[in-house]
Amino acid sequence: MRIDVLLDVKTTLGEGPLWDAEQERLYFIDSFDGRVFRTTVDGREIRAWDVPAKIGSMALRKDGNGAVVSLQTGFHALDFATGDCDLIHDPEPDRPNNRINDGKVDRHGRFFSGSMDTMEEGPFGALYRLDPDFSVTTIDTGIICSNGPCFAPDDRTFYFNDTWGGEIWSYDYDIETGAATNRRAFAKVDMSGGGAADGSTVDAEGYLWNALVYDGKLVRYTPDGSVDRVIEMPVKKVTSVMFGGPNLDILFVTSMAKPPLPRFPDDGVLRGSLFAIHDLGIKGLPEPRFGA
């Protein structure tokens, strides 16, 4: 196993690595600076787009040159050609202290993204599903900090976590209807080192990978929720993970350069870097695009 720094761009809050298997490009975001980045697998080519508010996640669209992005002010459509970022729907206009956070697309093109309390204290957030027709459905409520949505390879299980809840949840998932039901504990999160569950992905073997933010670890869980492997990272504030590369065998890891609140720890010189982990002997799955 080898951990490389792919890009040292000092993202204030790097998040949401997303590999585009069609174009062989990696996207990631800076949540606090409101920016979407795109780079090649070797980090030699980089492009960026500004969005008009803090951004939590993104999904590439099937029908053209753009993405759906979850911003503090709701779901928007970002046009890569023009840079325009137009409002689709704001599910929480009455909650100015919330912002939409982490998100992923299922294999029928629906975008699941949840909101969070920006002070990370109260259960004021919710989990939403944005369908290809731009309708929005509330899936769950009472969440402090939405994170880690992802889907099992057989499309029968949806994973999600409230960062400060101490566990990762699983739901029964109906790929035909987009319904996620029967929430239950999938795995207990070891928070003894001050860390908490952040972004997740599921590999081709059906194992879930989670970034343990503030503890500098990546944890791989078996399909029954037990810990299979732990990787120590060079920085504490790792935020999310995604497999990519031409063979889907590189694990990309985002991190933050500055903690969002004073109570969270600082970090070393590599803070805010985008990392690439090679030679794991494990492959991921291509991420679906948003749309019918």
State the Cα–Cα distance between residues 218 and 238, nearest whole angstrom. Answer: 8
Residue with tokens 């325009």: 84
User: Which 3 state secondary structure label does DSSP give 165?
Assistant: helix
* The two structure tokens encoding residue 291: 């749309």
15 known ligand binder: yes
DSSP state of 145: B
Radius of gyration in angstroms for the set of CA atoms belonging to the chain, rounded to a whole number: 17
Q: Is 160 left (phi over 0), alpha (psi -120 to 50) or beta?
A: beta
Q: Is 198 a catalytic residue?
A: yes
User: Active-site residue among 106, 117, 198, 203?
Assistant: 198
147 known ligand binder: yes
99 known ligand binder: yes
State the Cα–Cα distance between residues 285 and 154, nearest whole angstrom. Answer: 12
Q: Does the CA dihedral 3-282-210-129 come out positive or negative?
A: positive
Show Cβ contacts of residue 53 under 8 Å, excluding neighbours closer than 6 positions: 34, 71, 72, 73, 99
* The two structure tokens encoding residue 169: 């949840």
247 known ligand binder: no
Binding residues: 15, 99, 101, 147, 198
Binding residues for a divalent metal cation: 15, 147, 198
Binding residues for substrate: 99, 101
Catalytic center residues: 198
